[in-house]
Amino acid sequence: MRVELARTAGFCYGVRRAVQLAEEAAGQGRPCVMLGPIIHNRDEISRLEAMGVGLTASMEEIPEGSAVLIRSHGEGRAVHEALAARGCTVIDATCPNVSRIHGIVSQAEEEGRQVLIIGTPTHPEVAAIAGWCARPVVLEGAEALSNWLDEAPERREMPLTMVSQTTSTRFIWDSCVEKAKKECTNLKIFDTICNATCKRQSEAQALAARSDAVVVIGGRESSNTKRLAELCGALCPMVVWIERAAELEPSTLCRKASIGITAGASTPEWIIKEVYDKMSDENIEIEESFAEMLEKSIKTLHTGEKVTGVVTGITPTEIYVDLGTKHAGYIPVSELTDDPAVKVEDLVKVGDEIETYVMRVNDQEGVVTLSKKRLDTVKSWEDIEQAREERTTVEGVVTEENKGGVVVNIKGVRVFVPASQTGLPRDTPMSQLVKQKVRLRITEVNRARKRVVGSIRAVEAEERAAKAAEVWENIEEGKHYTGTVKSLTSYGAFVDIGGVDGMVHISELSWSRIKHPSEVVSVGDTVDVYVISFDKEKKKISLGMKDRTQNPWEIFTGKYNVGDVANVRIVKLMTFGAFAEIVPGVDGLIHISQIADHRIDKPGDVLSEGQMVDVKIIDIDYEHEKVSLSIRALLEEPAAEDEDVNEE
């Protein structure tokens, strides 16, 4: 006969933590009471009571100032507030996974969202989760969810947040998720099924499938044990569910070639051993000792190994991790990340699952020192090598300027980028890249020498080529683009419209007369431009910036008539007169004879470029869009008025 013990049989990390907290409280010698059984196992609760930890189901029976153990299933907000009001010291043994759900539903209600809890309404864990909401809805499965939505069709439009009881089956949860995704339009889903529960259930199913009989050990009130019995029953012809060894009738297992043993999360090792001893006493042949089976169920750790655990506590110096083994794991803060600016609480939270690297195992003290950043570095090297082979783009932050280039940090790996591959113009200080996030291509990897070389320029060139191809494929006259001014010349500005540079001639930059493009734009400016013309063969594009809908001549003629006075700006001096800007885009000529009321040799004797002067409009040529201006007419008018007064 072969007897096989499931690797995850017995206490899960949440239950183990709760029992340890109770044992520690009992050892302190002060009054301590459990508010309800901290785990679903009557025998273990009796053992704790014998150690001096009391048990009550009523808060009124708790003496004021007592230490109160909150069970692993948790309690609602009202219970915590009531205990605080009674001056009680709370020892919170709530499973970290359950505490995480409390935070999720509380946040959801603050955001005005309706909380949906998938689970058994009468289960203590579900009741506790509901206790952190004002108006929770508890549904047992997809059918209940469908009925709830059908009762009020407008619920499909409501902002919904859906969580699961940690011990629910994956089938129930997945069917609810599928239903909700199909019908609800404003949905947030949080998969809160405990990973340890999933692992326990999947292992139990595999064990049942290869066994002739399965013994399931656990309390009758334990939800997760009930699930194990149901799952095993679907795959194995005989399932025996017991709480203690006394309930086991070994004769029922006679002539079974293979027997599997699993246990619920609230079943202590001493009860599992009790069942083993009962089977041995009845002369059931077991291929290996209980100690060996138990050792297999508790993973042995080795330095350099990758392990996954759950964060159970955070202090300023270290993070405690439950690995599901006999060892206590912790990560020194210095081994969490290489980034000194990152806060620990931003990276990990109690209840998070975390993958780490075993640095050191101390079997005597039962402690394992872990490192996340070393595992991240190992993974990063693998990712870097894969990126080199597959020619994929990676992201990193430039950490320093080095001799001949810059150094980019990619998940803890230093990547050297030569100056010629930074993508910066010649003579541009490379220091301007420091602290910038960049995208690059890995060109060389030598893991033995810890040397990695990359190219920012290669990525930029490929992206620019792709964008340029798209521009040339879709370009047409009149099409508008948002571009960036790349350079200025005396005759215009070159603008990047997405991988392709086009030129805006100085005459197309503004309706006003300008001497240099820098009067309108600067390098780096974001501008709106449109295509005037293009030549795909010569790869040339002529762009415009002037707003064609604003016709300067129409603006001028709508505002001024012959005889009106205008304040104008002198824009150009010629030998025969001066040109003045009346409105942007419309200039008028002040003939040399109209500049002063006396003879002058040249316009510069009286006027200068940029000067503002008042003029009179003496003629408008609408056909040729020309305007004649006069300063002299304004100077002669006061004299004419004085003569009229004298004649009177």
Which uninterrupted H or E stretch holds 570?
strand 565-573
Query: Are 72 and 49 within one domain?
Result: yes
Query: Are 405 and 424 within one domain?
Result: yes
User: b or e along 194-233 (b: 16 or more beta carbons within 10 Å of the residue's beta carbon)?
Assistant: bebbbebbebbbebbeebbbbbbbbbeebbbbbbbbebbe
What's the pLDDT tens digit per position in 193-210?
876 777 788 888 988 998
Query: Are 184 and 110 within one domain?
Result: yes
Q: How far apart are CA 634 and CA 23, in angstroms?
A: 105
At which of 168, 193, 218 does a domain end?
193
Residue 294 has what pLDDT? 52
Query: Are 129 and 105 within one domain?
Result: yes
Is it the case that residue 296 has pLDDT exceeding 50? no
Residue 413 has what pLDDT? 86
Residue 644 has what pLDDT? 55
Residue of 125, 203, 508, 581 with catalytic role: 125
Is it the case that residue 327 has pLDDT exceeding 70? no
Tell me the CB-side half-sphere exposure of residue 434, using CA atoms within 13 A. Answer: 9
**DSSP H helices in 111-194:** 124-130, 142-151, 170-183
Query: 228 lies in a domain?
Result: no
Q: Which residue has the higher pLDDT, 511 or 159?
A: 159
Residue 22 has what pLDDT? 85
Query: 470 lies in a domain?
Result: no
Choose the most confident range, by mean pLDDT, from 269-278, 539-548, 595-604: 595-604
Cβ pair 38, 69 in contact under 8 A: yes
Print the domain residue range for 356: 306-375
What's the pLDDT tens digit per position in 453-507?
999 988 888 888 888 888 888 888 888 889 899 899 999 999 988 878 899 998 8
- 67-70: strand order across its sheet: 54-56, 32-35, 67-70, 89-92
Q: What is the mean pLDDT of the chain?
A: 85
Query: Are 456 and 487 within one domain?
Result: no
Query: 117 lies in a domain?
Result: yes
Look up residue 450 and give its amino acid: K
Query: 199 lies in a domain?
Result: no
At which of 408, 427, 460 does a domain end?
460
Residues 6+ apart with CB under 8 A from 572: 513, 578, 579, 609
Query: Are 411 and 438 within one domain?
Result: yes
Residue 170: which CATH number? 3.40.1010.20
Residue 538: which CATH number? 2.40.50.140
Residue 287 has what pLDDT? 45
Active site residue 647: no
- CA proximity to 398, closest of 371, 372, 435, 428: 435
CA 191 to chain centre: 17
Residue that the structure tokens 């690797």 belong to:
7
> How many domains does the chain fold into?
6
Residue 158 has what pLDDT? 93
Residues 6+ apart with CB under 8 A from 252: 213, 238, 240
What's the pLDDT tens digit per position in 549-597?
678 888 898 899 999 999 999 999 999 999 999 988 889 999 999 999 8
Query: 168 lies in a domain?
Result: yes
Query: Are 517 and 595 within one domain?
Result: no
Query: Are 115 and 181 within one domain?
Result: yes
Could you give the C-alpha distances from 383 to 277, 305, 387, 390, in angstroms and in order? 50, 19, 6, 10
What's the pLDDT tens digit per position in 265-287?
888 888 888 887 777 665 455 44
Residue 63: which CATH number? 3.40.50.11270
Query: Are 75 and 103 within one domain?
Result: no
Query: 211 lies in a domain?
Result: no
Left if phi > 0, otherwise alpha if psi is -120 to 50, otherwise beta: which for 36? left
**Mean pLDDT, residues 347-370:** 80
Range in 150-154, 294-298, 300-304, 580-584 with the lowest mean pLDDT: 294-298
Query: 497 lies in a domain?
Result: yes
For residue 147, name the pLDDT band (cuts at 50, 70, 90).
very high
Residue that the structure tokens 């690059």 belong to:
440
At which of 460, 486, 508 does a domain end?
460
